[in-house]
Amino acid sequence: MNNRHPLQSPEWAEFRKSWGNRIIQTQYGYLTVHKIPFTKFNVAVFEKGPIPTGPMLDALRKIGKKHNLIFIKLEPNIFWKTPISSLDNRARISLIKLLKKHGCVRGRKLFTPTTFWIDLTRSEDDLLKSFHHKARYNIRYAEKNGVKVKIDNSEEAFENYISLMRETIQRQKFYAHSEKYHRLMWKCLHQKPLADHKQPIAHLLTASYNPHPDKKSPDETLTAWIVFVYDKFLYYPYGASTDKYKHLQSNSLMMWEAIKFGKKMGCVVFDLWGREEGKGFTKFKEGFNPQVMESLGTWDLVLNPIIYWGYRIAESVRWRILRLRNRFLIPKF
């Protein structure tokens, strides 16, 4: 299945341009250009583009030479079910041969090679029955104890999201995009649509709880997710939560309400934006019975082989230094 992805939308291109990237628009999609420090060379990233073809790869090679690129990183937006059927496997092998024929090699990944999809064409009853019994229990428990989820695109809700993201990063000690990045992303993707779709791409869902409703105290935001709606797909790229009232299972109710929101918006698939075995967020997602989907992977269209392999060596050293440094530093947001 090869749908249009929000990272190939005019809104996302405008966001990346505002962030400081040079954008190259082609007949196949948008490339983001990144300058290699202290050199005259650039690299480009073609995230979530269409199925590669010979003419497309030839055109990208010409564009790359014109813009002094040493390579173009490709992560096509194409997936297969896992385990892969023999027919799909033949198609994948054919595409890999095509990529190699045109000078592509395996590259360092940007997205995880597998992700989770939930089929939103199924009824709510069927979906709920398919969940792990613990996930169903957690959803009912959150509802019973007064957790409420709603779509809230207000400025106040977004500020709560920023606060929760900062708390989550500091608590879990992982590195994420900066506050400035999130603010600019929200501005560009929640604005009036730039293309032919009617709704903004980005929407904000919040799960709140009032510990003292009798005292008329304000609700507290426990979880906040930004989801994307694009080309009949719902995506879950960003989420944050507090450890306070963790026992109320607000994340489980949030997932269920996000699924219902996607169905209401006419989406056919909910892409949970990544899967890494052994990670806590992966185990959480597995409770909702998603289908594992495998991508074509990450490929670099090499345009300057000598400089490219020097770049790969330097890149490997850089990442080793960053991983070592990160053991001793507290992430900032």
Is a pLDDT exceeding 90 seen at residue 50? Answer: yes
> Is the peptide bond preceding residue 83 cis, with omega within 30 degrees of 0?
yes
> Does 86 lie in the same domain as 187?
no
> Does 303 lie in the same domain as 223?
no
What pTM, to 2 d.p., does this model score?
0.93
How do residues 56-81 score in pLDDT, each as one tens digit?
999 999 999 999 999 999 999 999 87
Q: What pLDDT score was predicted for residue 78? A: 92
Task: Say which residues have a Cβ less than 8 Å from residue 266's Cβ, sequence separation at least 6.
Answer: 232
Q: Could you give phi then psi for residue 173, rounded to 5 degrees? A: 55, 50
The number of domains in the chain is 2
Q: How far apart are CA 81 and CA 88, in angstroms?
A: 9
Which one has a higher pLDDT value, 191 or 111? 111
CATH of the domain at 133: 3.40.630.30
> Does 217 lie in the same domain as 269?
yes
In a domain, 209, yes or no: yes
DSSP 236-254: EEEEEE-STTGGG-HHHHH
Q: What pLDDT score was predicted for residue 225? A: 98
How do residues 275-315 score in pLDDT, each as one tens digit?
988 788 899 999 999 999 999 999 999 999 999 999 999 88
DSSP 177: -
In a domain, 331, yes or no: no
Task: Give the structural domain span for 87.
Answer: 6-114+294-326
Mean pLDDT (the chain) is 92
SS3 234: strand
